[in-house]
């Protein structure tokens, strides 16, 4: 059922828009939330609350246990990344035999194990791929489908004992606004898991500290034939700024816990040029040092070209959830055990990114991240094994049933 549900969900174009000031940033996300709300009502969920003005949908599966158990939550986001089109997705379902997968004959686009070696583990399994012109939307419609399917399974099998379960679907996660208006008190869970990770087995409770920086450079345009000593080219100043950042501290040259500066957008003319960066580091001290580096370079250039010619804006986006999860490690052990019980080897690792859960953890809702099963998010080479989605459903169900046997949790009551 999770496969069919996922294929239905990716038929909705829910791309978020970072240039929009509305909530959600696109109305098509609201339309998808309405579809899910209707489906939740059909399968028998309770307390369904859709608040489009805040960009979220919540629902409850009441406890069927005689015990007083903690309330667990599961969260996924409905938007897809602005990095690639999410409109008119044409998925293909194939049994992977190890050969290159032809995604698009006209454009000669292949999905190849040579480029993505991790594909080797899925030989003989069914993969859902794109047609090479859009992303797939497994980030995070796979998570949405898995949560809904798990709830449906529990409703259809009342013999499975569980406590109260809360679920939520958010918008605009891909543009960093996913929980801007999320009401943690209304959600009313003791902790939660975002179903927003990558390949099967991933369990993440450490993520980047993150900030966004926008630097605007102002110049003066003069006819190039008469420009000597008069023209100031804002793009030249911008180029100088970029050259003063560490050349090797960029995404394409870092891994693991290594942080980076990432230039995401440039816009410019001779008169005005803007550089947009994201700043990332797992270590909070190094994160603050990176922000100071940006400030120092701007100050240096202001002295050289004039204070009014460079304008800097830096805004923190989210922080490493590790410090909030460490006091609650029982929720990590619970997820690990659920995976093991489902025959899955947990892969605990740091996220080279962030999730809604990172910000929620700092709002007193500890919220680590569990795999949704997809690969190569945000682009045309995105794919997901059907078996990984089924495994994620099993892990959600198992977590819900394990809570009553977790002695550490009982001690917290």
Domain count, the chain: 2
Q: Name the active-site residue from 13, 79, 152, 174.
A: 79
Say yes or no: 333 and 310 in one domain.
no
Count CB-CB contacts under 10 A for residue 135: 25
pLDDT of 410 over the 50 cut: no
At residue 356, the pLDDT reads: 86
Strand, helix or coil for residue 315: strand
Would you state the pLDDT for residue 406?
A: 52
Which of 136, 142, 138, 164 is closest to 151 using CA atoms?
Answer: 164
More confident residue, 350 or 152: 152
Q: By percentage, how much of the chain surpasses pLDDT 90?
A: 92
Over residues 47-60, the mean pLDDT reads 95
405 pLDDT exceeds 80? no
Are 241 and 148 part of one and the same domain?
A: no
Catalytic residue among 173, 174, 196, 281: 173
Query: Do residues 152 and 77 both lie within one domain?
Result: yes
Asked if residue 138 and residue 79 are part of one domain, the reply reads: yes
Same domain, 77 and 142: yes
Q: Is residue 413 pLDDT above 60, yes or no?
A: no
- Give the CA count within 13 Å in the CB-facing half-sphere of 250: 12
Are 61 and 71 in contact by the 8 Å Cβ rule? The answer is no
Our answer to whether residue 79 is catalytic in this structure is yes
- Structural domain for 272, as ranges: 209-318
**Do 141 and 276 belong to one domain?**
no
The reply to whether 179 and 261 lie within a common domain is: no
186 and 80 in one domain? yes
pLDDT tens-place string over residues 194-235: 999 999 999 999 999 999 999 999 999 999 999 999 999 999
d(CA 392, CA 164): 19
Distance, in Å, from the CA atom of 200 to the CA atom of 251, rounded to the nearest integer, reads 23
């Amino acid at each position: 059922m999770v496969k069919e549900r996922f294929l239905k969900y990716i038929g909705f174009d829910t791309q978020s828009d970072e240039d929009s000031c509305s909530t959600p940033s696109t109305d098509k996300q609201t339309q998808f939330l309405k579809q899910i709300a209707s489906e939740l009502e059909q399968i028998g969920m309770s307390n369904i609350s859709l608040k489009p003005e805040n960009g979220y949908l919540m629902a409850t599966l009441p406890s069927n246990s005689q015990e007083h158990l903690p309330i667990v939550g599961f969260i996924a986001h409905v938007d897809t990344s602005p990095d690639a089109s999410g409109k008119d997705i044409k998925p293909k379902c194939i049994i992977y035999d190890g050969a290159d997968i032809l995604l698009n004959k006209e454009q000669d686009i292949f999905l190849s194990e040579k480029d993505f070696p991790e594909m080797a583990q899925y030989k003989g399994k069914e993969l859902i791929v794109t047609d090479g012109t859009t992303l797939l939307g497994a980030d995070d419609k796979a998570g949405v489908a898995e949560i809904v399917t798990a709830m449906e399974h529990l409703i259809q099998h009342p013999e499975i004992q569980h406590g109260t379960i809360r679920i939520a679907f958010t918008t605009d996660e891909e543009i960093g606004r996913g929980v801007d208006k999320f009401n943690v008190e209304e959600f009313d869970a003791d902790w939660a898991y975002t179903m927003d990770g990558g390949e099967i087995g991933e369990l993440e409770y450490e993520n980047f500290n993150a900030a966004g920086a926008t630097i605007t450079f102002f110049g003066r345009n003069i006819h190039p034939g008469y420009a000597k000593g008069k023209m100031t080219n804002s793009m030249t100043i911008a180029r100088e700024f970029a050259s003063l950042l560490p050349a090797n501290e960029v995404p394409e040259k870092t891994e693991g816990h290594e942080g980076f500066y990432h230039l995401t957008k440039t816009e410019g003319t001779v008169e005005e040029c803007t550089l947009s960066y994201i700043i990332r580091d797992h270590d909070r001290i190094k994160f603050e040092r990176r922000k100071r580096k940006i400030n120092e370079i701007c100050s240096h250039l202001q002295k050289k070209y004039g204070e009014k010619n460079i304008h800097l804006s830096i805004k923190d986006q989210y922080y490493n959830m590790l410090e909030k999860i460490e006091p609650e490690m029982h929720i990590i052990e619970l997820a690990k055990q659920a995976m093991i019980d489902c025959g899955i080897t947990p892969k605990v690792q740091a996220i080279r990114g962030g999730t809604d859960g990172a910000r929620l953890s700092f709002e007193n809702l500890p919220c680590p991240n569990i795999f949704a099963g997809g690969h190569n998010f945000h682009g045309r080479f995105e794919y997901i094994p059907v078996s990984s989605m089924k495994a994620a459903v099993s892990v959600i169900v198992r977590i819900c049933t394990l809570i009553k046997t977790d002695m550490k949790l009982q001690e917290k009551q």
